[in-house]
Each structure stands twice: as structure tokens, then as C-alpha cells.
Structure 1
């Protein structure tokens, strides 16, 4: 079935809605989008879509729906997942980490939970000293519990924490997502308390 849906997307046969993203045109099917995303359902089928969702505006010169705050490649991957229920991005691509981040934001925006969880899982593999602060902020902003916990676990290591601090990662968190610092401090305090209990025993 997924192969049939993917073929339908690729052929554009029966498409009844078009999007313009980053200068590219994408043809799709309202019912398929609506069945996979409550947000698309409201935007494409809801009676108040124009008032509720200002970021999707009917074009004045064409019938395409313009999405101005997303890259064409990200939207293509989003559509591909909606039709195939599978991710279509190579992990070894030069920009794979950035693409997974953008795709996570898109999945959260359109309430596609399975894709969001897949993006979280992929991004956990990219956690390191230089990326952890940005990924932790991303996880907090988009309510990604798994990714957030993975980042906090990485920072449990004193060596990792020291390197991130030296690189200015904690300053970044303090300015972009200060609530995460509170969670980090609480986690470190909890670990310190557990260690003290273990030492006493």
C-alpha cells in the first residue's frame, strides 16, 4: 500500500492541492495529508483554515499554497514520509544532522508523531560536545523527551560537561533556552546525591 501511495505522490495523478516551497511546486492529495496529520486536516479541510493558519496562504497569482518558512528539501522529505510511512534520508549525507533537525521541526509543526520520534532517534546519534547544546535546546522547544534525556545523559559526564562549558555551550543554553539549565542542574544534583549515598554505604 505504501508503494502505491508513493507512486501516487510521484506521478501526481489525482492531486488536488499544490504547495510552493522554496521556489518548488509540490502536488499532493488533500485526503492523504489530512488522514496523516491533524494540522493538515484543519488547514486543508477545516472551514476556518485561512483564519487559523496564517503561515499557509493561498497565492494571489496561482492556486498553490505558499510555505515560506521551510526548505523545499525538508518539505519533500515530509511528503515522502506521509505517503510511505518511512524516512528517506541517508545518514551519511553531509548535511544529515541539519536535515534531521529541520525534519523534526516540520514533524512537530504538522503533528506527525511517528516521524518526530524517528527524528529524535536519529539525532541522538549526533550528540557530541559541539552539538549537544543546540540539540538540547531543540528538544526542549519541541517537547522531545527522548532526545532531551539523551543530551542530559551525555552531560552527566564531568569531562563532557567541562568541554561543553569551555566551548560556550552552556552560555548558548542560558540565552536560548534557560529552562534547560534548571533541568541540567537538577539532574547533576540528583547524581551527586546518589553518589554520596553510595559512598556512605
Structure 2
């Protein structure tokens, strides 16, 4: 068997630095006659870590060049053996030149010579090995999006729920996978003789709709975010009850988290009662901790909600008072 051909590759890159300097000579006519080899030099400018300057020779650099101006770009850094660079020297509004001799009569405007230098310094090259990636980009999972569309389209739905005055169509197998209670009611040996239509008691249609949405998409409906704060809290409370009823653990934890992060003096007592009734230990601890804090206890005691808890769940109040005592002793 022929062995696979190993394919390798490498890349060479060059680091560069760019800079531009403009050198203006005012009263240029006064510079004529300086003498061959005499020059005017710009201030030093730095590009790529090296110092540079522009030199202008009004009378040229050699004998018999008095009628020409010569322009150079000079490396003025000390102790530098070699620098690679590309440059573009030009008189404003004139063609680009390199170490050029220009007739004075065509260069000077308003007795002013304006020289621009664009400089590209080529620094050290780097070579490194590359390898062709065998990774193929995989988009994020969209199964919940497809399941949500399945719920909306009602394709191949095999069970109908009647909740109040509304009906909802769904798929037994998916409900059974997501909820052990639905599995027992719809597919187990104790299922009703006819499960084509199931009536749901003691639940609002909006709550059942949100429950189905979560079962199919593993997320809360988007329209819940548009509810007013009080209405949203009420919906979350009802969803927690529904999640406990149908043993949808993740939804139950999500509801506990929302309620636990939004405790206040007016609602903590009823939230505590809800947590105690539906065995939400984490939410119950959060409520007791909120009530037990010294700055909150007196305010909570004054609410009607705590009075109701004293009658229905006295053990919960005892837990709160015991926790407050521990806080005081700490």
C-alpha cells in the first residue's frame, strides 16, 4: 500500500515601517550661490527605528552642475552598517525622482522649494513553518431551532392537549423523552386508553405554551422578556409549578434562579412558600437568607405574606429565625 504523502509548507514575511517627511525651503533664491557640494539639511526624522534626513544641494554636488539642484535621502543613524529601504523623493506637484537633478527654473514656485519623502524601511525577514489545517468549520447546533419549528408547524403531531379554552398539538415521543411524567402518561402502561386528546387541569394556557416551548427548544419563550416585571415574576412562578409537576428539572432550576435573583421584601415570603411547597431547596435557602439578614427581617415580618406562611408553613419561619440567630452570633 502506498504511504500517504506528507505535505509541509513555510512562509517568509518581511516586517516594514513607513514614514513621510516634508522639507520646505523658504526664500530659495537666497540659497543660490552657496557653492558646489554645499547643502541644506532637514531636521532628523525617524522611520523603522533609524534616523534620516533630506539634503538639498542648490548648486549641485560636482563642478559644472551649478544649473541643477540635487536632492538626497540620507541615513544619519550612527553605527549602522546597512539598512534596506525604498524611497520616493518628489517636488510638490512634480514627478517622482530618485537622486534627481532638477532645473531650478522648473522647480521653484513663489521662491519656495517643497520636498516630500515617502520612506519604506524593510526590516528583518522571518521564516516560519505552516501546516495546512485539516479542521473543517462546523456551525453551531441548530437542533432546537428545528424542533421549535416542528412544534409551530405541528407536522406529524400525534397528541392534542386541551388547556382551558385552547388546544395544543405536540409529539408524544418528544414529550416522553423530555419528561418522565409525560412518558408515563402518554407511553407507559398506565397511559389512558385514548391519548389522542388530553385535558390539562389547573394550568393556564400561556403557561402550558411556555412549557411546551421549553420542552422543544430548551429555552424560555422570547416574549417573556416583554412582560412587565410583576407579570414576568408570576409567569415564572407558574412555570416552576409546571416544571415540578412534569419533572422538567432544568426548567425548574432556571425558574428558581430567576426568582432567587429578584427577591424583595414584598415577594420573598410568597416565594419562600412556593419553594417549600415544591421542594426547591436552593431557592428556599436564598429566601431564608434574605429574610434572616438583620436589615430585612423587620420589613418582611410586617408583610401579609409572612403571616400567611406562619399559618401554613410554621417550620419555614422557624428555619428563618434560626438562621438569623446564627447570623447574630457570627
Q: TM-score range by the shorter chain?
A: 0.7 to 0.9
Task: State how many pairs are aligned.
Answer: 185
Aligned residue runs from structure 1 range 48-197, under 5 A: 48-50=190-192, 63-88=196-221, 89-94=223-228, 95-194=231-330
Gapped regions of structure 1 (runs ≥ 5): 51-56, 195-201
Residue 92 of structure 1: CA displacement? Answer: 4.8
Partner of 1:53: none
Deviation track 1:34-83 (CA, whole Å, cap 9, x = no partner) reads 00000000000012134xxxxxx969xxx521112100000000000000
Q: Which has the larger radius of gyration?
A: 2
**Which consecutive aligned stretches of 4+ in structure 1 deviate over 4 angstroms post-superposition?**
none
| Cα distance in 2 for residues equivalent to 1:118 and 1:153 | 19
Partner of 2:150: 8
Asked if structure 2 preserves the Cα contact closer than 8 Å seen for 1:136 and 1:151, the reply is: yes
| Cα distance in 1 for residues equivalent to 2:226 and 2:198 | 32
Deviation track 1:122-159 (CA, whole Å, cap 9, x = no partner) reads 11233111100000000111111221121112112223
| Cα distance in 1 for residues equivalent to 2:178 and 2:194 | 22
| Cα distance in 1 for residues equivalent to 2:319 and 2:156 | 49
Q: Secondary structure at the match of 1:118?
A: helix
Partner of 2:170: 28
TM-score of the superposed pair, with normalisation by structure 1: 0.86
Asked if structure 2 preserves the Cα contact closer than 8 Å seen for 1:58 and 1:66, the reply is: no
Q: Secondary structure at the match of 2:286?
A: helix
The structure showing larger relative contact order (alpha-carbon pairs under 8 Å, at least 6 residues apart) is 1
| Cα distance in 2 for residues equivalent to 1:20 and 1:58 | 14
| Cα distance in 2 for residues equivalent to 1:21 and 1:185 | 41
Gapped regions of structure 2 (runs ≥ 5): 1-142
Deviation track 1:61-116 (CA, whole Å, cap 9, x = no partner) reads xx521112100000000000000011115345121000000000000000000000
